[in-house]
Amino acid sequence: MDGKPIAIVLLQFGGPDSLDAVEPFLFNLFNDPDIFNLPFGPRFQRFLARQISSRRASSVREKYREIGGRSPIVERTAAQMRALQALFNERYPELNVTVRLAARYWKPLTGEAVQSLIDEEIKDIVLLPLYPQYSIANAGSSFNEWDRCNKLLHATFQERRITEYYKNEKYIAAINARIDEGLSEFKDAKDVFLLFSAHGTPLAMVKRGDPYSEHIRETVELVMAARNFDKRYTLSFQSKVGPQQWLKPSTHETLIELGKKGITSLLVVPIAFVSDHIETLHELNIEERPTAEESGINHYRVMKGLNDHPLFIECLADVALKEIHALRHE
């Protein structure tokens, strides 16, 4: 190895770090053409994003207030960065790796990350999305923003891009380790049903060839195969926004149906989310809890996120190492 510094840039949505940051965070989200592809061009999209974020800010701020006044993804991602940096410092000091973050919708925004790498004259980059399954709405959006910022700032990096890693054995093992932790919270885990809940996407996106939903389904089957299919399970989708048709069945409807089938003990597995944040801590753990309990699911738990679980950090290191070696030998 030549000793030049190399940056592993973690790509993540990010989250508001205060209640005051909620509205600008929402504006950045709704202004993303990869998620909300609106007609009439970027000027109209910015106008509509301001209207939507202003209208939704109050209710969303209340949700963040209920889970601590800021997005937990801020601390969780920082912990992942520290753990991955420590692993490379300990095991591969000769690689001279620095771990950075480029967040899509809140600080440190992608442009800030690009500028800091330019300032430090770091040329070799591995882009590692904190989204194990690929979609244009997650890694695709982050890559597009990275390219826009590179062009704007005249950056010239030598890059490798990781698009997905949901088949990585350590990733699957990390999920199963968290499932086992969740099952241990039940007095009797024998009859616990597993509900895998993934962030949904519009059906129109699926019809255009977006592979995310298939990646999610494969992930669930890989997880259960590793468990020798020891539990009953199903998959649902959450977080629908807007009037379009989204992936089904919804988590809300699925909870009602499972209650009708006599399920009384249920562990929700937030599949595809790698950190605890508003969609796990509030949407699943607070908003949907009454739905479950009113449906007869008396023992309802939500699995802890992967966060900085050692197996997940090992997974990130494995997929990054492969690209680092490829980059060094180009």
Residue 1 lies in a domain: no
- 45 C-beta neighbours (distance < 10 Å), count: 18
Q: What is the mean pLDDT of residues 283-310?
A: 98
- Is residue 155 domain-shared with residue 184, that is, in the same domain? no
Is residue 254 included in any domain, yes or no?
Answer: yes
Q: Is the pLDDT of residue 176 over 80?
A: yes
- For residues 218 and 260, membership in a common domain is answered with yes
Residue 41 lies in a domain: yes
List Cα–Cα distances, 115 to 107, 147, 261, in angstroms: 13, 13, 55
The confidence score (pLDDT) of residue 2 equals 62
pLDDT at 161 exceeding the cut of 70: yes
The range of the structural domain enclosing residue 267 comes to 169-302
When pLDDT is cut at 50, 70 and 90, the band that residue 177 belongs to is very high
**Residue 135, domain member (yes or no):** yes
CATH code (residue 70): 3.40.50.1400
pLDDT of 185 higher than 80:
yes
Could you tell me if 315 and 234 lie in one domain? no
- Same domain for 13 and 155, yes or no, is yes
pTM of the predicted structure, to 2 decimals: 0.96
In degrees and rounded to multiples of 5, residue 91 shows phi and psi of: -95, -30
Within a domain: residue 324? yes
Question: Residues 116-154: pLDDT tens digits?
Answer: 999 999 999 999 999 999 999 999 999 999 999 999 999
In a domain, 182, yes or no: yes
pLDDT at 1 over 60: no
Residues 78 and 210 in one domain: no
76 and 116 both lie in a single domain: yes
pLDDT tier for residue 190 given thresholds of 50, 70 and 90: very high
Burial per residue of 87-122, b for 16 or more beta-carbon CB atoms within 10 angstroms, e otherwise: bbeeeeeebbbbbbbbbbbbbebbbebbbebbeeeb
β-strands 265-270, 97-103: how paired?
Answer: unpaired
Q: What pLDDT is attached to residue 35?
A: 84
What is the average pLDDT score of the chain? 96
- One domain, residues 114 and 147: yes
Per residue in 221-254, pLDDT (tens digit) is: 999 999 999 999 999 999 998 778 999 999 999 9
Residues 114, 187 within the same domain: no
Number of domains into which the chain is organized: 2
Identify whether residues 11 and 29 lie together within a single domain: yes
